[in-house]
Copies of this chain bind each other. A is one copy, B any other.
């Protein structure tokens, strides 16, 4: 999807939040703001929003001198989700429909998105899990389950740290030998990278690869050749989160987008209510 006008004020707000998170130096906050404002004034709106996200966070890394400003946040939410993991796994195992419960759990995990909201606490995660268990999903879980049953190889595009543990809970319900889990090629916001896949046990469960790019989404032209080949050969792609939806919504592959709609631009584009829990097949 293209960048909408409504994305622009949100970019500026995100840039300021992220700059404050990276450093307490107010001069750098100002440099980031001025840089992002100037870039946004000339930006190509045909690009998807994560391309600007990549620019913003590159600028913050350069100006602040921090290679990975979200490292502490990423560790914190990986550890928090790992603590929840045994109970959530038990809940899935003992539920009347483990696949349905695991899919809902994976969507709930998408709330841990620091690109949209710089203030996420544990209570919002608990609330989102409970909501996800009973809410009417936007989309159709049954079609996804059918696709899983018939798929020869499944590419699972991860999104954020913490969330990756919720993805693991779902992947445990899939035919793991057919699954490849994908992380970003480098640090960007709180998105999961190879280090996070290792820390959260994902590498012991399935094959994990990185996509060779640090866009907070999946812009194929910016990804590695190796990833693009895997992507081309997959007959089922499960894509987590807003960034993957924003960058792949027009892609002609068998993609199921699993996410929580956390902004009005996304819910408007998908045709659902803001806050919806989504399992939507590419059209």
Chain A contact residues, CB within 8 Å of chain B = 5-6, 8-10, 12-13, 16, 26, 29-30, 33-35, 37-38, 40-42, 45
| Given A38-B38, A38-B41, also A33-B16 (CB < 8 A) | no
Chain B residues with CB under 8 A of A6: 16
Q: A42 near B34 (CB under 8 angstroms)?
A: yes
Asked if residues A16 and B12 are in contact (CB atoms below 8 Å), the reply is: no
Given A5-B16, A8-B12, A9-B13, 17 extra CB contacts under 8 A:
A5-B26, A5-B29, A5-B30, A6-B16, A8-B16, A8-B37, A9-B9, A9-B10, A9-B12, A9-B16, A30-B45, A34-B41, A35-B41, A37-B38, A37-B40, A38-B41, A41-B41
Q: Residue on B with the closest CB to A16?
A: B5
Can you give 20 contacting A-B residue pairs, CB < 8 Å? A5-B16, A5-B26, A5-B29, A5-B33, A6-B16, A8-B12, A8-B16, A8-B33, A8-B37, A9-B9, A9-B10, A9-B12, A30-B45, A34-B41, A34-B42, A35-B41, A37-B38, A37-B41, A38-B38, A41-B41
Q: Which residues of B contact A16 (CB under 8 A)?
A: 5-6, 8-9
The answer for the CA separation of A224 and B196 in the assembled complex, in Å, is: 63
Interface of A: prevailing SS = helix
Bound complex: CA A35 to CA B40 (Å): 10
Closest Cβ–Cβ distance, residue A26 to chain B (whole Å): 8
Interface centre among A8, A16, A38 (most CB of B within 10 A): A8
A9 neighbours in B (Cβ, 8 Å): 9-10, 12-13, 16
A183 to chain B, nearest CB (A): 30
* Across the A-B interface, the 9 shortest Cβ-Cβ residue pairs: A37-B41, A9-B13, A38-B41, A9-B12, A37-B40, A34-B41, A37-B37, A9-B9, A12-B12
Alpha-carbon distance A251/B258, docked complex (angstroms): 55
In Å, the complex CA distance between A33 and B9 comes to 9
A12, B29: Cα distance in complex, Å = 17
A16 to B10, CA, bound (A): 12
Residue of B nearest to A36 (CB): B41
- Please give, as numbers and ranges, the residues of chain B lying within 8 Å of A13 by CB-CB distance: 9
Shortest beta-carbon distance from A1 to chain B in Å:
16
Specify the chain B residue showing the minimal Cβ separation from A42.
B34
Q: Which residues of B contact A38 (CB under 8 A)?
A: 37-38, 41
